[in-house]
Amino acid sequence: MNAARAAVVAVSGALFLSACATYIGSAPVAELTTARGAITQAEAAGAGQLAPVELLAARGKMVQADAAVRAEQFEQARRLAEQAAADGALAERKARAARARMAAAELERANATLKQEIGRPAK
Amino acid sequence: MTSPRIGRLRLALAPVAAVFLVACASAPVTNPKLDDARALYGQAAADADAARSAPLELRSAQEALTRAETALKAGEDSATVDHYAYLARQRSATALQAGEIARAEQAVAASAGERERILMEARTREADQARSQAERDRAESERARMQAEKDRAESERARMQAQTASADAEQARKAAEAQLAAAQAAQADAQAAKAKADKLQNQLAELEAKQTDRGMVLTLGDLLFDSGRAELKAGAFRTLDRLTAFMRDNPERTLAVEGYTDSVGSDALNLALSQRRADAVRAALLERGVDGARVTTSGLGKASPVASNDTAEGRQRNRRVEIVISGTS
């Protein structure tokens, strides 16, 4: 009985450990690179003005990811990098969407003006 | 296994395992962040534009969602579930933004098409305007042509009118000539009338008629009758012939034949004698063709003497027949 209890406890502990165990390995280089690229692209797309919340979130997580790498908390760094990449991608698309909408609105206005000018009776 | 170390470990692990077991047993079926991510993913997956323009994002969102759900079911720690839920949420949002971009780009393309359409319409309208302008020009020249035609007709009409006017003038000239002729005829008539009047005057002069208050008076003297008798002598015939001709020429005239005597003898004899002498003159005129209705007679005796009855010469002048010519010419 005592042995059985010990076995149950042991199995349970093993399960717990496997579930909660921190990933022990190298820094998530690929994820970090992807995140940095996403942020760069977002900045290039004008996210600084058009999607500041998402861009700031991405940058903040990037800083945290770098800190996690330095602390050798690689699993934490990986997650932060993944989130930063997702935030950066969203910031970029959001900025592009805003610019595309502005372009569409601008063209629509231009068309209205054109119509008005052309529609004016000649002579 | 039963060493105190193991026993301590067992004691230490027991609450951990208990916590784990509790975590597993009461693992929440739902996680608000996961629900949120699932909802957003559903929205993105239903967005045709998002699905078309961001298939990779959508698939990675789905993978993150699946991992989050698996982690939740497996009772993994909430940080893991939250992490994948977050990734699923952000990737779904990214896919939705991609859909937004696609729609905005479609709007841009539509605007470009609209711009082409507007310009084409304007060109068409310009062409239409040019065509209608040409039509107006043509209509204008046609109108000018019609006007010229009308002017020509007008001048032709004026020419015809001038001809008519000249014909009218000719007619007027003829009318004037006719008037002149009429005036000449009237003058001739007047001359004829004057000649007639002159003739009347001559006739009256020949009859030795005298103008008196009673009209023209012709006196047949005593010498034309035998004394005390009523028969006319031949010496009166010439005067009666002239008087007859006068009466024929002047049919409107009437004659009043009046016999007078001197104061010698009774009135009865004198009146009877004067009446007979007047009657004799009338009879002589009727013999010559004068209408009896135009000749009246009266015997007035010694009345209205023209000279004194004291002398033979005066008495002779009082024995007379006067013929009063009446009626106007």
DSSP code per residue over B214-243? TEEEEEEEGGGB-TT--PBPGGGHHHHHHH
Of A13, A82, A86, the CB nearest to B16: A13
**CB proximity B300 to A under 8 Å:** no
CB proximity list for A36: less than 8 A, separation 6 or greater:
A62
- Look up the domain containing A89 and give its range: 23-119
Q: Are B57 and A107 an interchain contact pair (Cβ–Cβ within 8 Å)?
A: no
pLDDT at site B218: 84
pLDDT at site B200: 79
Is residue A16 assigned to a domain? no
CA distance A79 to chain B (A): 7
CA distance A20 to chain B (A): 7
Is residue A11 assigned to a domain? no
Is residue A83 assigned to a domain? yes
Exposed, middle or buried: residue B83 (CB in 10 Å: 0-12, 13-18, 19+)?
A: buried
Q: Are A104 and B129 an interchain contact pair (Cβ–Cβ within 8 Å)?
A: no
Q: Are A82 and B57 an interchain contact pair (Cβ–Cβ within 8 Å)?
A: no
pLDDT tens across A24-67, in order? Answer: 578 899 999 999 999 999 999 999 999 999 999 999 999 999 99
> What stretch of H or E contains B321?
strand B320-326
Angle between helix A74-119 and helix A29-44 axes, rounded to 10 deg: 20
Taking the C-alpha atoms of residue A56 and residue A70, their distance in angstroms, rounded to an integer, is 21
pLDDT at site A18: 45
Is residue A102 assigned to a domain? yes
Q: Which residues of A touch B100 (CB under 8 A)?
A: 93, 97, 100-101
Rg (alpha carbons) of chain B, rounded to whole number: 80
pLDDT at site B257: 93
Taking the C-alpha atoms of residue B260 and residue B273, their distance in angstroms, rounded to an integer, is 8
Q: What's the domain count of chain A? A: 1
Q: Residues B313, B211: contact at Cβ < 8 Å? A: no
Of A20, A89, A110, the CB nearest to B94: A89
Specify the pairing of strand B295-299 against strand B254-260: parallel
If one compares B301 and A93, the residue with the highest pLDDT of the two is A93
Q: What is the CATH number of the domain that holds A82?
A: 1.20.1270.390
Q: Are B119 and A114 an interchain contact pair (Cβ–Cβ within 8 Å)?
A: yes
Taking the C-alpha atoms of residue A1 and residue B108, their distance in angstroms, rounded to an integer, is 76
Q: Are B115 and A3 an interchain contact pair (Cβ–Cβ within 8 Å)?
A: no
Is residue A4 assigned to a domain? no
pLDDT tens across B286-312, in order? Answer: 999 999 899 999 999 888 888 888 888
Question: Is B88 in a helix, a strand, or coil?
Answer: helix
Q: Which residues of A touch B121 (CB under 8 A)?
A: 118
pLDDT at site B195: 87
CA distance B10 to chain A (A): 7
Question: Is B73 in a helix, a strand, or coil?
Answer: helix
Tell which CATH classification among 3.30.1330.60, 3.40.50.1100, 3.40.50.1000, 3.40.30.10 matches the domain B197-326: 3.30.1330.60
Is residue A14 assigned to a domain? no
Is residue A7 assigned to a domain? no
Name the closest residue on chain B to residue A122, using Cα atoms.
B126
Q: Which residues of A touch B1 (CB under 8 A)?
A: 3, 6
Tell me whether 0.90 is exceeded by the ipTM: no
pLDDT at site B121: 86
Taking the C-alpha atoms of residue B70 and residue B168, their distance in angstroms, rounded to an integer, is 126
Query: In which residue ranges of chain B is pLDDT below 50?
Result: 1-2, 22, 24-25, 27, 329
Is residue A5 assigned to a domain? no
Q: Residues B309, B262: contact at Cβ < 8 Å? A: yes
Task: State the DSSP code for B264.
Answer: S
